[in-house]
A = this chain, B = another copy of it.
């Protein structure tokens, strides 16, 4: 795609109004693309968002249930976590899969990058498929209270298709994998009922 890289916004002042271990919030005084004065609120994330779909030789995967505090609801998702920007997304994917599910994967493939909310935040997500699995002890962080469930990928696809799972990383990863499968780019054993 063409680049049009010149920034039509002019930043007049930038003020950090909040910082926590996870985010920084900035208030910018700007001139908008029409040249008029305005403001822009920018939320910067200290970490990447990482999501992993582990798939075993029978086509089974693992999903994680937890209470999501900002939305005040219990959700099921693919294994996810934050990736420190001093490391690589792959290192974070490897660590999260062990921590949340006790799964070591020989093979990781990054299948999708996402800008999660690009009008308001700079958060970027990386999604992986993990295969050639072996198992160890999970070690969730103490601020996490996780349920882990083994389901077939076909069941996970149904949960996304029928709207039971709406987490953006899970939806994008599962739809992408189903398309890769239909396009012959990834083999997953079908569910034998």
Please list the residues of chain A having a beta carbon within 8 angstroms of any beta carbon in chain B.
1-9, 17-18, 20, 22-23, 25, 27-28, 30, 32-34, 36, 38-45, 49, 65, 67-76, 80, 82, 112-125, 142-145, 147, 159, 161, 163-168, 171-172, 175-176, 178-179, 182
Contacts and interface: CB of A to CB of B under 8 A. Distances in A.
A115 B179 contact: no
Given A18-B41, A20-B39, A8 B168 contact: no
Contacts of A115: 68, 71, 75, 166-168
Given A159-B1, A168-B125, A32 B142 contact: yes
A149 B49 CA distance: 30
Nearest to A38: B143
B23 A41 contact: yes
Nearest to A119: B68
